[in-house]
Chains A and B, each alone.
Chain A
Amino acid sequence: MDVLIQLLINGIMLGSMYAIISVGLTLIFGVVRVVNFAHGEFLMVGMYAVYLLFAKLGVHPYVAAVPVVILLFLLGVLIQRFIIQPLLDADEHIQIFATVGLSTALVNLALMVFGADLYSVSAPDLRQSLRLGPYTVLVGQVVMLAASLALVIGLHAFMQTTALGRAIRATAQNRTAALLMGVRVDRIYIISFGLGAACVGLAAALVSPLFPATPTVGTYFVLTAFVVVVLGGMRSMYGAFLGAMIIGLVDSLSAYYIAPDLKEVVYFAIFILILIFKPTGLFGFGRGTE
């Protein structure tokens, strides 16, 4: 029983990490409709930025979130404007090649600059275990859970209540109709992509104290993030959050009760079943949104 509860706690914490990484992808994938394979590498860039700020200037990783979020927003804007935008009307495959190419280029750039070694932000205060009876959870994980909830609620409110949010939703629903209604679609795409990347910047600041930065750290997360986004119904923030929680719990429980090397098999099996029986995702809006 003790083990089960520890595994559930662990799954929720893991889920909150997947959530905070996937929220940005939901924006990019759901609105701009670009399968961004470089999403994980945005996380990697963010984690190196957090590390550099920490190691060179002694900035606490959570404080580093501010400049890193801005940096990633700008990176996202530039990539959308100069790489994705020229390809928006091109074949989908070409967009995928562009983001895969970008991903490979970023990984190798990091290899060149930092080498294959791992760099770790030392934040003993955030790695402190909180003990709840026999169960343990890290301070950094609790902060991550709170931050991912706040981010999801905040983004949802932003999308529902502001004019810009409405314009983003309109663009996601129907690009042509939005254009006819006077929405500057190109600009919305740039903002959405920037926002999506900025969310990853926040994720980087929260993940850094828990995981060391390596050139390939992004690939660990990006596949899971795609599963989460599709599970969550593509552009629902709450959907993505719940999807992330499900994957986190499945990950944690199947690794213990089945086998640690088979957990991916379990959640990809769930993923395939959902694609077959409910292709719009667990929390999709119905047909036409996929």
Chain B
Amino acid sequence: MERRRQWITTHEWMVKPTAQTEWVDGQGLLIWLAEVFSALGMGLYLVALFYNNWWGQLAGWFIIVGLKLPFHFFYLGRPWRFWRAIPPFTSAWKTSWLARGMFFTLMYSAFALVQLITTYQLEHNLVAASSVGMVTAIDWVMRFLAGLFMLLTGIYCGFAMSYCKSIPFWNTGMLPIVFVIMGLADGLGLIMGVGLITGGVDFHAIESASRIFLLVNALLISTYLINASYQSKTGEYSVKELLVGKSAVVFWVGVIILGIVAPMAISVISLYAGELSPPLLVLAVLSHTIGAFSLKYCVLKVGIYRPVLSKLPTF
């Protein structure tokens, strides 16, 4: 075999569209999972709060505290320094969406825990008659605060990504809205799963709401992609990657067919058939969940940097 001399490698990756890998490949998969659980936890908790379903609220809280936070934690290069990102140990919350997100998530975790306890006590008559008024008041305040911080926790992920001018596909104000609406639609799917196990869920009402959210979501995603393709050459490249490139299978099968079309079809069936059978409900829950995983994966995967020398013929 011919012996070849090794030369210093030059860097071609800055003049060609290069996908970010830090937040989706290797250890970056943890960020993907954390992002997915942010959306699922937010959706489930807010929907459960709206429909007053304690088990749904508990599951939403667990998804955030037991899944999202640990995944974020283990992703960090220096996990035990995490406290440095939390006010008052940092003043970076003025500009950093990550610091804000940490704060929102911790605030939510604390307020929701108190709310879960007070709601449980009130629902099971564990409060002394003389204290019912006070506990009810605390419960409502905690519901408001936990709901608010939950919404902020769900939306900050989108803002953290949309802040990055380096990646045109993310750099749009629509991204946080897409994430929140998709999260709420998935929350509606998950609450049906909770209802299948614990009961006490009005499936008909959930399916009605689901139809609206899925429709809005489909429109939002379409608008988002059209907007991104018009925004810049790199944005257009990202959209092509998503629609016909390496991420196309995940997008069409995961996001469109399983995430939107299948749940929509099931909810339309419920419109005519009335109460859905448990297998169909399980299918709806599963397809919603796979849709959530697929959406975040696709968005992270086609996050392509603007080439540093974008006007070169190579691009």
Partners in one complex: no
Q: What is A's interface to B at a CB cutoff of 8 Å?
A: none
